[in-house]
Each structure stands twice: as C-alpha cells, then as structure tokens.
Amino acid sequence: MGLLDGLRSVLGMRAESDAKRDADPDDLFGMSTAYFTMEAELGYDSAGVGALCFSGVDSSTFREAVSEVEAILEAGREETGTEFEVAEDDHGYRWVILEEDDPEDLITSMHFAADTFIEHGYGSRLLAAVFAYEGTAASDSGGPVYWIYSFRRGRFYPFAPRSGRERDSSAEFKLESVLDGELEIEDEKEYWYPLWPSSSGTHPWE
C-alpha cells in the first residue's frame, strides 16, 4: 500500500466506515484546555501553527467553498493577526495553514475553516486537523509533537515524528495517558496514521 493509499484508507473511507462516532468540528475546542495541560504537565508549548488537511474536488461549488474559507480567514487576520495560506503538498492533498501565537485564536480559526466546508456540503473532504507543539527542557523531548484530529473517526491521536521516519512511541503513549479524558482519543492504534513531513525539521504540510 502506497503513501496516498494509506492516507485515504486510514483517514479516509475506511475510517469513515469504521467510525464509532460522528466527527464534529466542535471537538477542536477540546484543544483549548489541552494546550494548558500540554504546557503545565508535559512541558510542551504551542508551536503557534496548525493546519487543516483536505482533499480537493474539481467543481465550481468546491472552489467557492475554498474562497469563502479564505475570505473568513482574511477577516480574522485583520481582527486577530492570524496568518494563513492555502497550499498543496507533494501528494496532492491541500492544507489550510494557520500561524497564530495565541492558541485560542488558532483553534477558533481552524474551527471556522472546517465549519465552512461543512456548511457548503464538503465535510466529507476534510481529513485531519493538525496542532503542533514544541518540546521544552521540561518535556525531555527529542523533537516536536502533534495532536491530529481525524474527521472521519471523530477522534484525536498523538504523533511524535523523529529523524529517519521514526516515531517516538514513548512520547506518544505519554501524551495519550495524560490527555485521555480531556480529548476524545483514538483507542485503535492502527488509526494513529503518521503524517510524515517531506523532510526532517519541517511540518507535515511542508
């Protein structure tokens, strides 16, 4: 199974058919308290960046939905200073990338973008919301970690990528144990799909 097939399977149609609960963009607001726990109990700071992953479709109505997302985020940039861009990765998936030092504003912007796709009837094109965190001396971390929300499963899971396309499993399981109950965490590990960055030291959408 190739990378694209794996993503489609684990975050796409198979995830949807095996889902235990409906995805809800309001779940993203769980990160509003989670980032406090990440800092206070685990020693991770918000990296001030996150992204919404979605698959495109060649239709005028979908392009209108993307344009409305951009218009909403542009209005938010004027009000809160949240920077954004819409980009496509090397695998053909599209991302709404948000940069904002205030985690609350970052989460709210992510929610607005996801909700706009849903209102236009394109909720099925949403794959994942990704929130980045940086390790501090208190975390004893060897690199960044991410919380990924699967829209098809309606659950979060941790991802701790390391060089050589290795995962820090101990960091992921620690994140799971501390945040379990605060976030709806995916309990089936086969759905903890790695969103590998194109090169070491970059984010999954780069």
Question: What is the reported pTM?
Answer: 0.88
Cβ atoms of residues 3 and 9 within 8 Å: no
Q: Using CA of residue 55, residue 57, residue 58, residue 60, what is the dihedral sign?
A: negative
pLDDT in tens, the chain (206 residues): 334 444 555 555 554 555 455 668 899 999 999 999 999 999 999 999 999 999 888 899 999 999 999 999 998 888 888 999 999 887 788 999 999 999 999 999 999 999 999 999 998 899 999 999 998 756 666 688 999 999 989 999 999 998 888 999 999 999 999 999 999 999 999 999 999 887 766 888 88
What Å distances lie between residue 20 and 15, 59, 107, 134, 155, CA to CA?
9, 31, 24, 31, 9
How many domains is the chain partitioned into structurally? Answer: 1
Q: What does the pLDDT read at residue 21?
A: 53
In a domain, 198, yes or no: no
DSSP 180: B
Residue 199: inside a domain = no
Rounded CA-CA distance 24/111 in Å is 10
Print the domain residue range for 84.
3-191
Angle at CA of residue 36, ends 33 and 39, nearest 5°: 150
Under 8 Å CB-to-CB from 69, ≥6 apart: which residues?
86, 96, 112, 113, 116, 117
Residues 6+ apart with CB under 8 A from 7: 91, 93, 127, 193, 195
Residue 174 inside a domain? The answer is yes
Residue 103's domain is classified under what CATH number?
Answer: 3.30.70.1130
Q: How far is CA 165 from CA 88, 157, 197, 198, in A?
A: 21, 18, 9, 10
